[in-house]
Structures are given as C-alpha cells and as structure tokens.
Structure 1
Amino acid sequence: MNHGRKTTALERIEIAQWILVTHRHYHGAVEKFNISYSQAYLWTRKYEQGGESALIDRGGK
C-alpha cells in the first residue's frame, strides 16, 4: 500500500486522463504512478464530474 505521496494538480489530471484512456485500468495506474487504488479512483471520478478544476487542491477550503 502506498501512503501519502504528494502530487501536483497537473499530475492528478495526467493520472485521471491516463486511467480514462486505458479504459479504467486502475491497477496499472497504481503501479505506473506509485499511488493508491483509492486515490486513482477518486481522482478519476472527480475529473469526470468536474473536469480539471475538480483536481486542484484548494488547501482545505
């Protein structure tokens, strides 16, 4: 299990786009980008619902 790797908004967007292009290959994203499955799923879902702006960290706001 991977814990707490810091990512930028651009990385999260890239990861979500990669997952969608690979037909939701979450496990592949976990290995390729060194992230957790739950983060991969969450970022992809947010990206689908709100676009790129949904993946920008708002600092707890």
Structure 2
Amino acid sequence: MVSYCIANSKDYGKAIERYGVSYQQIYGWVRKYEKDGAEGLSDRRGKGKDQASMSEIEKLRAQLKLKEAENRRLQMENDLLKKLEEVERRQGID
C-alpha cells in the first residue's frame, strides 16, 4: 500500500479507494516508511526485552506471566469440557 501510494505521487485518495484504508492509516504508514524505511512499518507491539538483557527478577516475572497465561488457558479448556459433558448428559436424558 505504501509503495503504491508513493509510486502515485502520494495520491492518498487513490490508495484509499484501492485498498479501503483510512486516510490516517495510509498517511501514517507513508510517514513511517519515509522516516525509518521498511523497519518503521514493522509491528513492535508486545515485544519485550531479549533474555540476555533481562535481570534475574525480570526473567522470573516473565516466566510467571507465561505460567499464569497457561493456567488461564487450561482453566478455560477445563470449563469448556465440563460444559460439553453437561450438554451431552442432558441430550442423553431427553
């Protein structure tokens, strides 16, 4: 989208029509591309520090977050299985 917009003399209207994005999105992407190149368009949300630069406490906190997320996933899976058993049991009775 950014290449198309730049190739068409920054005709944001054409890019909006062709790709169905908002003016703010395409304008922001073009600015980021012009400032930082392709690297400026990469999504860095949720990226934490690499393991080598973390202190021991930060490593333990990161491990704890992973375990908590795994526990939530497993709890949801258990709840779903219980519901499924309940539904199957009710259908068997009817």
TM-score by length of 1: 0.71
2:34 paired with 1:48: yes
2:22 paired with 1:36: yes
In structure 1, what residue type is equivalent to 2:3? Q
In structure 2, what residue type is equivalent to 1:35? V
Q: Aligned to 2:21, what secondary structure does the other structure show? A: coil
May I ask how many residue pairs the two structures share in their alignment?
47
Alpha-carbon RMSD across the aligned residues, in angstroms, is: 1.1
**Identity over aligned pairs, percent:** 38
2:44 paired with 1:58: yes
Gaps of 5+ in 2: 48-94
Which of the pair has more CA radius of gyration? 2
Gaps of 5+ in 1: 1-14
Show structure 1 runs of 4+ deviating over 4 A: none
2:4 paired with 1:21: no
What is the alpha-carbon distance in structure 1 between the residues aligned to residue 43 and residue 30 of structure 2?
A: 15
In structure 1, what residue type is equivalent to 2:34? E
CA displacement at 1:59 relative to structure 2: 1.6
What is the alpha-carbon distance in structure 2 between the residues aligned to residue 25 and residue 44 of structure 1?
A: 11
Higher helix fraction: Structure 1 or Structure 2? 2
CA displacement at 1:60 relative to structure 2: 4.7
What is the alpha-carbon distance in structure 2 between the residues aligned to residue 60 and residue 39 of structure 1?
A: 20
